[in-house]
Chains A and B, each alone.
Chain A
Amino acid sequence: MGLLRELWEAFRGAMVTIGDVVLFLGRLLAYTPASFRRFGLIVHQIYNAGALSLVIIMLCGLFVGMVLGLQGFDLLQRFGSEQSLGTAAALGLLKELGPVVTALLFSGRAGTALASEIGLMRATDQLSAIQMMAVDPVRRVCVPRFVGGIIAMPLLAVIFSAIGIYGAQLVGVQMMGVDSGQFWSQMRASVEVRDVMEGVIKSCVFGVACSLIAVYEGFNAIPTAEGVGRATTRTVVISAVVTLLLDYMLTAALL
């Protein structure tokens, strides 16, 4: 009975949290159209979440592409079709690795920054001060960060994929000797617009999920050093799990 009660309590707690997140998302979306009237605030957050994540995204994109080039070459060579390396690398990056790895890196770099920034604003009474100035902190603090994250995420995923394809080309063509013409022409022939769109749709959905989790966790952080630390950790862990879960669901839906 004790175990059953604990399971019930855990289930109930999870449902309450999900309901709370949905209500919070509703508040964010209600304020979103009006937030574009002060686009400067959103641009600032795109810079924070996007531009400041560029170096890590580009670096990781290059290495992931290079690994893909090596592994892909090794695999395709066994079937004598190493000229298809361009197609394999492009599809892998555009449809899967680009959006997923970018989302994981985004939650680790920008998500944690968002959660800890908003959490610290709560801990230092800045959110209360904003409320006392008759301003809704969800509108002024959370919405620009949420929208900025959503805009930055697909852009980062595109950059990740582009650099990744360059990395695969670097290893496959420059180092392993795959024919350059074959590499690019097979890629152009096989990769369709819907493949690119699959990646864009995924990165947009991941952008909504990761930004929502980060601002929610930060906004609801317990206003102590430990509470902010916990909110930051939860942001990374929950974002990673939700990204991979959504990836499976989206892949199944878009196939």
Chain B
Amino acid sequence: MAEDPQAATPAAAVDGENIVEIRNLQYGVAQREIFRDLNISIRRGRVTAIMGPSGTGKTTLLRLITGQIFPDRGSVIVDGAEPKRLNRAELYALRQRMGMLFQNGALLTDLNVFENVAFPVREHTDLPERLIRHLVLTKLHAVGLRGAAEMIPAELSGGMGRRVALARAMVMDPKMLIYDEPFAGLDPISLGVVLRLIRHMNDALGITSIVVSHDVKEISSVADESYLLSGGQVVASGTPKELQRSQSEVVRQFMEGLADGPVPFHYPAPDYATQLLAREEP
């Protein structure tokens, strides 16, 4: 297991094996630095978990990978292309090779389940209606929601919405599926279903999965490799078992869910007694 940024890349990986290569990434918003010298390699055909406490920029990392934002310094290479250097048409061509599952599903609320899944097909192809129907029902069947095709997003539970979004994300047969907090707010049954689907889709379709999550136990059960982010850098990487065995304080705090540690319980503040005795607000 590696516990410093330079050693964060699994040694066995070579460029051709990696679908995503992040090198010396630096990114900030306004005065706040989110990533500094971040190095991550994501291997093809694997389920890779990106973990870390809230506010470490996990979702920002996904937005960098998908070209929704660009790094200040360093490089992000996705399937051989650097999103920063692509024009809009090339970027959209790259995105057709990716599928993304948003935290809340992000289903289009003015379309029913069937039309949501059919949306990318209708936008990018001129397939006959019969074929679109076949394709959409196949994907809905894979996530167990063929019977919900006529429902509207408002009628779906959180778990069902996530599964429809998964069907939509894979309807164009992408090379890579990206999940942003797929377990947030799910009941244990829905969570189990989504977990099983992540692993099953990855293996059955031969794709690469990137899962951003802070649900350590759940994601560790399906991930092949994990990266733990903290303070804008990779603080640990390896298989989930290797992370569990780590003696690093920050890794232990995160994996065991300790309230205080290298990531402090209290947000930086002036001395408590001084502040209470002070006359002025606050």
Interface residues of A (CB under 8 A from B): 117, 120-121, 124-126, 128-136, 140
Please report the C-alpha to C-alpha distance between residue A132 and residue B107 in the assembled complex, in whole angstroms. 12
**Contact check: which of A117, A129, A134, A135 meets B106 at CB < 8 Å?**
A129
Are B92 and A134 touching (Cβ within 8 A)?
yes
15 contacting pairs across A/B (C-beta < 8 A): A124-B104, A125-B103, A128-B102, A129-B102, A132-B66, A132-B68, A132-B102, A133-B168, A134-B92, A134-B93, A134-B120, A135-B92, A135-B119, A136-B88, A140-B123
5 further A-B pairs in the complex, CB-CB below 8 A; given A128-B106, A135-B123: A117-B110, A126-B109, A129-B107, A130-B108, A140-B123
B100 touches A129 (CB 8 A): yes
Q: Residue A125 contacts which of B66, B92, B96, B106 (CB distance < 8 angstroms)?
A: B106
Q: Dominant SS at the A interface?
A: helix
Q: Which residues of A contact B88 (CB under 8 A)?
A: 136
- CB nearest neighbor in B for A127: B106
CB of A113, distance to nearest CB on chain B (Å):
12
CB pair A132–B123 under 8 Å, yes or no, is no
Query: Which of chain B's residues have a CB closer than 8 A to the CB of A140?
Result: 123
A120 cross-chain contacts in B, Cβ below 8 A: 109
- Distance from A73 Cβ to chain B, minimum over Cβ atoms (Å): 47
Is the C-beta of B95 less than 8 angstroms from some C-beta in chain A? yes
A124–B95 CB distance below 8 A: no
Name the CB-closest residue of A to B108.
A126
Q: Is the CB of A126 within 8 A of B68?
A: no
Contacts known (A124-B109, A126-B108, A128-B68); A133 close to B102, Cβ less than 8 A? no
Q: Which residue of A lies closest to B123 (CB)?
A: A135
The residue that A134 contacts in the complex, of B68, B95, B102, B165, with Cβ under 8 A, is B95
A130 to B102, CA, bound (A): 11
Q: Please determine whether A132 and B98 come into contact, CB atoms closer than 8 angstroms.
A: yes
Known contacts A126-B109, A128-B102; A133/B119 CB under 8 A: yes
Q: Write out, one digit per residue, whether chain B residues 170-188 have a CB within 8 A of any chain A CB (1) or not (0).
A: 0010000000000000000
